[in-house]
Structure 1
Amino acid sequence: MHSWTDTLRFAFQPVVNLTTGAVAGLEILARPETGDILAEARRNPELDCRLAVSAVRAAVRRETLLPLFVNVFAATLADLGGLPSLHAAVREAGRLPWEVTIDICPPYTHVPQQALLEAVDALREQGFRISADGVGDGDVPLRLLSELAPGLVKLDASLLPHPAVVRSMRTLCDESGALLAVEGVETEGQCAVALAAGAQLAQGELFAPPARLPAADVYVPPRSPGEVVAPRSGPSVREFVRPAALLPATASAGRVRALLTGSPDVSGVLLVDTAGMPVRSVHRSRFLLSMSGRYGHALYAERPAAKLGDPPRTVGVDASAWEVLDVVAVGGRDRTSDDVAVVDAYGRCVGVVRLADLVRALAETRVEEAAGLNPLTRLPGSDAITGEVDRRIAAGRAFALSRLDVDHFKQVNDGAGFAAGDELIRAVGRALRQAATGGARVGHIGGDDFLVLADPEGLDPLGAAVLDVPWSAGGRPVTLSLATVLCPPGSVTDHRQAAACLAPLKKAAKALHGTSWVLGRPGVPGHETRRGSPPRPMSAPTGCASAPTGCGLGVEPNVQGV
């Protein structure tokens, strides 16, 4: 009588790091030759668990050193808890639990949520990593997704035609410390959308199809400058993590040599203790040079490899790329090419980063930033500000978007000369930049127009810093106009709607005499006048009701502020 294992095969599909182009791990996919064992496993937790155990054993037979992604249905976890048989299979395979990510698959309907959360906690305590699979095409509730706190969220490629949704999920992942992946990517166009929306990992036919043998090479489309996504504090180290070659701290030099000679892409080996914490770092070139010297093999082959290693250099998984460079700079010059170990909150190694990857990405970031700077003020253009506006909207944060310009600037240029006008613009830009504290962002969108994004509580100091200054150009007094739209969470849907609400406020500010400042709110009629004298009798400016999305802002009645 044939067993279900007789007709079951496994395929491996790479999960690709879109920043480095390296393979971050292998998802193991069951491929039954007959029947629909996956549908049966969805109903039978014991069978699903046996499939996961078989997947790990299949990976061992292929002798892959890459981290593994193993699929388990949510109902299986809720029913069987911490999957002790899977833990045993990983241990028997000589792998460490944190080299294995459990992909929790839908459906979640009718799954006892408390039991599922307790099972996930048990897996984390064992060291396994957690991924939420099929998000966007499955039925995982957002509240449950938040409580699961996965280290990786896998979105279905069907969401790529809605990049705002992908960007929102990237924001959620950033807030929770998770990575964002897109699965099912089949075209270069989909890859470009995933990159632009902030995805850090991806898998699909474009990179490599599922195959019986783990793929040695994958295809990653070249990135254009417009696809570079740079977080505000510099790229996160999570974007550059490569799989680490790990061996026990007691491993012999001969065992390390066998690993390095059999895996030419491995740049070094980390020796870890029983808890997975790095204790020594073995650099490929220095180690092989020592082993290949006269009597090197005879002297070292049976001795602990740790004697030929160095103290590991480590960074936390939440570090930025700049922090990694600081760690590299502290060591001697002979170790600049060493891998830096990335460790989790428990000190366990989750991977390594290479200096070359960081330098290339940081250089791209600097080039991209420089290309977007205004040559006169060296301030970024509108794209940097509007991108941050969309991130705050997606995160549900209140913000104030302001537009500032010089009154009658053409007359200033004509009367005082363009050199005096340029110096005035530079001075206003400097004042805004110095006043932009606490996360405020300043952009120069051309001519005498500036865009300022700030938290609502930072408005008054920022306004005073630029409006209380007696500005002049070529000895001629100059006044400024400032318009602000204050956006509570949910009041606008994107930066375009915020800009549409700002337009009539700027018109109202320009209608006032002297230095002026008006403030409005989306959906609230009228505006508050904080600076400036009432205008002469004139027809009321048109509101922004004609904007496609509508903002509900008018300019009457006029409320005189302090």
Structure 2
Amino acid sequence: MNGVGVGLFNRDMLRSIKERWHEGGIGVIYVRFRLGNTAAESALQLWEGTEARLFWRQRLEWDYFYLFDRQQKDEPIIRVVEKAMERLIDRLRKSDAKKEDGAFSDTDLEVSIGLSTAYPPATGRSSESVVYRMILDAMEQSAYNVTLGRNRQESLAEGKPKIENYSQIIGAGEPVQQLHLPGNYSRTVRIGGIAAPFPIFPARARVSEVAYFFDTNAKAQGAVIVDKGRPIGILMKEKLHQMLAGQFGLPLYWNRPIERIMNNQPLIVDEQLTVEHVSQLAMARDFSQLYDVVLITKDGQMAGAATIRSILECMTALRTEAARTANPLTGLPGNEEIQLELSRRIGQGEPFAVVYADLDYFKWYNDSFGFGLGDNLIRYLGDILRMELDQLGACDDFVGHIGGDDFIVVMRADSAEQLCQAMIKRFDSGIKAFYGGAQVTTVEDREGNLIDQEGVTLSLSLMLWDGRVALAADDIPRIAAKLKKQAKALKGSVYVMDQIIGMHHGEERNGN
């Protein structure tokens, strides 16, 4: 393990990853101890020293992150990481969790372990975001627990555990739906919801006062510097200790105002920003500030702070919940999240658009080409929605999978018609690849009647709400059903648009 790097999300780490993952990907093992244990730490160190493919590690309190690569002749990266995890669990089981007399210790040691892998990102995705998602996946997959202690002797004697919980983040050349799972769900959670109290000092407070506070409050990580309640800087405990530890640190800084040595460019966000947005801002900081807390304000006044760990834990919890309720075929939010999103939009009172999308003659396609290819066609439609929304949408736009071949998009109104046109163009240009080279000139409708039609087409129902007329979430499917019927009566891939204006609806239009 000589030459293993240390640190998380700094330039050296990302450069090291880029040098390695073109050989077949990068893997991460995430380890968290529920209770501190010296023997377990020793076991980790021994394990690190024997792992030839380990090239980076980082510890954050009781959270450990280990990055692995593969060589050209190795097994796939997922097997490399799985085997490393098996060796780690075996090492922990054999660690000094027993007393010298052979009896088990009184305290059980619980360990959460998760793994994930990543491949080079597809065009448009930064290396940082792919690695970040990989680490979040590993934390999410850490539901596999190993318990060492007197109450678990029988379970430990059963042999090596079977590792089943892992996830992959796929890059170029693979289905993209796994990359989009957390976005829609976490956008609705505001950073103010995880704001926690944080020590505050006025700008003119002396360095000696803050140093004394840190010395007498072991759990304090830092302090916020405020001016009339408005945050203007931050000083982390570790950085203050580094400054005072130098040869001239004490006489140089001890009696100075804290504003003279604080970081005067902390990350300050409003409480209404989403957790996902803040996590992206936090990860984009210079690595020297990467672990500084994020300051949260309300109406410009200090409201609290969030640590990087609390943000990561929140994101992990959101991803877990999103995975629980997501459609298993596409990974997109299901009906529960769709209803929540519609209610949230209506509650904001701002104009928005709703697009319902479904496939024409999908039953014919399933019957003719098989359910496996039918599932691929549904994924293809979901991917089109996401890709076009990435190009034309805003950060809080939403894509959901109602079920089967039915999807929904909730987005800003000003670009919705352009989105429909782009979706139809992309769908029609790619659908022929799903016929396996066959020339399709006729299809069957649900009654078995032959229709002159060159295969599957796309019908879109576009509804625009002005934010003023009365509207309930349950009204939207009713209006969409009316538009859907009109769209399916037209030949080819089309969209039909309607203004939601109370009991009356505007003039419909369609685009071929």
TM category, shorter: 0.3 to 0.5
Structure possessing the higher relative contact order (Cα contacts under 8 Å, 6 or more residues apart): 2
TM-score, scaled relative to structure 1: 0.44
Q: Whose radius of gyration is greater, 1 or 2?
A: 1
